[in-house]
Chain A
Amino acid sequence: MKDNLNLFTADLHIHTCLSPCAELEMSPKEIVKKIKKLKIDIVAITDHNSSLNIQGVRDASRGLDFKLFYGMEITTREEVHLLGYFYTLKAINDFQKFLDSHLENTDNPKIFEEQVIANGKDEVLGFCKKNLYMPIDLSIEQTIDSIHSFKGIAIPAHIDRMGFGIVGQLGFIKETLKIDGIECYDRNSEIAKSYLKRYPTLTSSDAHKLDDIGKRITIFKMKDRSFKEFKFALRGEKGRRILFL
């Protein structure tokens, strides 16, 4: 018997006040409030090189009707932004431990905002001292392999943005690169158009302030909002897929 498939909206690239380039207003409670208002089905928190605020957003979203994916936006040695999505909080926290050994201890310079660690009640738990905007010391290939070894999904972020996008930094996407999809800002951009056919393509907000949340979304056709279904949709398996509007 065929599964009953539904449509789900997703914004899988949202920063919190932990990211040095994000606004302080991106606190767990405020982000959750905004998602609830917009009625987005699935969201992912993706701070730069850190998962420290995911617990806070998770606590703030308790009892609410949206699914939270655990993500991170990693800056590789080539200064390419790469999104990693993980099944469980444990998986991303284990990945974080691994990543910490590859991120140099440089102080967060004054030009950036404070990197605020907050709990589900929007209370400040502390400040991340490492400069999260710095690249790790692994190549993009090594980072992808590491994400996969923690059973995660690896997707280059905003490939159509010159700074920190894979095409801007590295000129093109090698066919042998083991990515699970791509993310673009605009499906009609020249760069996006040249890779759309080769990879499943997400469009997400990359929100750094509250008003940006849900500004760009991806629509999934799948059975439910689980991470497993998300994987099926990326691979185009069992009728699951990403819908284009």
Chain B
Amino acid sequence: MKLKKIVDKLKLKVLSGKEYLDREVKGGYSGDMLSDVLANSKEGDIWLTVQVHPNIVAVSSMKGHCAVLITNCKEVDKETLEKAEEEKVVILSTKLDSFSCIKEIVKLMKDEGQS
């Protein structure tokens, strides 16, 4: 499934990497401790987190996620978004919490026969 489908369906804001929404979503990971995400998430995952620190860009880039989705989002550091553009990391945001997002994403994946 393309990232764009999730963005449209969940009405997500695209904060960086607008040109990479055709990326394939292979799976997903949810976590707010970056050490855990480094250890356990996979390439092609859409990563859901409440963290907005610039380190999320490094972690996501290193793991090759298709995007970072910041949930319960109020505001994201400017530095995070600048780095994300440099590193070609897609940052999405929503006011929804992670669980609500995951439910929707799983539904979409099922429709596509992906899970």
Contact = CB atoms under 8 A, between A and B. Distances in A.
Mutual binders A and B = yes
Interface of A: 77-79, 139-140, 162-163, 167-172, 174
B77 A171 contact: no
Majority-rule SS of A interface residues: loop
B102 interface: no
Interface residues of B, number: 15
A139 B54 CA distance: 10
B53 A162 contact: no
B33 interface: yes
B89 interface: no
A197 B60 CA distance: 27
B34 A169 contact: yes
Interface in B2-46: 32-38
B35 A78 contact: no
Listed from nearest, the 6 A-B pairs whose CB atoms lie closest are A171-B34, A170-B55, A168-B35, A78-B53, A170-B34, A171-B59
A174 B59 CA distance: 12
A139 B55 contact: no
B87 to A, nearest CB: 14
Given A168-B33, A169-B32, 4 more contacts: A77-B53, A168-B35, A168-B36, A169-B34
A169 B35 contact: yes
A147 B59 CA distance: 27
A78 B51 contact: yes
Contacts of A162: 33, 35
A172 B55 contact: yes
A167 B35 contact: yes
Contacts of B34: 168-172
B58 to A, nearest CB: 7
Contacts of B51: 78, 169-170
Contact of B55 (A77, A79, A163, A174): A174
Residue among B32, B37, B51, B55 with max Cβ neighbours from chain A (10 Å): B55
Contact of B58 (A77, A78, A168, A171): A171
Interface string B48-91: 00011111001100000000000000000100000000000000
B35 A139 contact: no
7 contacts: A79-B32, A162-B35, A168-B36, A169-B32, A169-B33, A170-B53, A174-B54
